[in-house]
Amino acid sequence: MANLSAISMLSEVDGALLVDKPAGLAAHDVERAIKAHFNLVKTGHGAMLDPGASGVFVMLLGDGTKLSQELLGADGVYEGKIRLGRVTDTCDCHGHVLSEQDAAAVTREALEAAAQEFRGDIYQTAPAFSAVRIAGRPEWEIVPSGKDAGEKLVHIYRFTITDYAAPFVSFTLSCTKGVSARALANDFGRQLGCGASLEELRRTKTGKFTLEGATSLMELMKLDAVGLKNLVIPVFEAGRR
């Protein structure tokens, strides 16, 4: 817990903090944990990240919160893995299995052909449920995602198959705000005729901010006020395109 001098120091800090969010925690919970640990007064965030995903998450401090609307609309780049043959209620590996089948017969050529259908403008329906970890419990809990269940138009700049070792398909994804990688995995499996779910997802870039500049939540919690302040990107720099 920060002392009075640290509270005074951090109250004057404005800008962006790049966090390497761990899988299993909701982005809001990560923000709340850091805010409480350092007694921060005013915080916000950039583009959100699914509870089951890890990677770069932009937390905003003080006047940095004025950048929120701009950063919420940022494009994202991801690396991930899809499991063929398994369909779940959350469209990822943490949900309840709805169906399962052998997908060993799926070829690399079939994957490439299917991937072409998910580039450019596409319509998606966000998964109705998400898996989250509750503090103090080892298991994942299935909760309503709270997202609009209707179809929406999104844009995928790049969806590239990088490796295939059945039943796992590794990929990179570059897309606009609002794309659900879980929905993409589910739709990809439907296109292949075998079903699929998202196994792993890691965001490597959001807007201009990359994973290389992010600090893990665990390491952040070990810092004192000076250490945290040194990691904050000033507002003028964070907002510069």
Q: What pLDDT is stored for residue 151 in this prediction? A: 83
Distance CA 223, CA 1 (A): 11
59 to 53, 135, 163, 194, 208: CA distances (angstroms): 16, 21, 32, 39, 14
Of 111, 227, 139, 128, the residue nearest 183 (C-alpha): 128
Q: What pLDDT is stored for residue 239 in this prediction? A: 83
Q: What pLDDT is stored for residue 12 in this prediction? A: 75
β-partners of residue 153 are 123
Q: Domains of the chain by range and CATH?
A: 4-73+210-238 (3.30.2350.10), 76-205 (3.30.2350.10)
Q: Are residues 215 and 20 in contact, defined by beta-carbon separation less than 8 angstroms?
A: yes
Q: Are residues 123 and 152 in contact, defined by beta-carbon separation less than 8 angstroms?
A: yes
User: Low-confidence residues of the chain, pLDDT below 50?
Assistant: none
CA angle (200 as vertex; 99, 60 as ends), nearest 5: 130
| Active site amino acids | 50
Cα 46 → chain centroid: 11
Strands 43-45 and 86-88: unpaired
Q: What pLDDT is stored for residue 52 in this prediction? A: 87
Q: Are residues 75 and 158 in contact, defined by beta-carbon separation less than 8 angstroms?
A: no
Assess whether the previous peptide bond of 167 is cis (omega < 30° from 0): yes
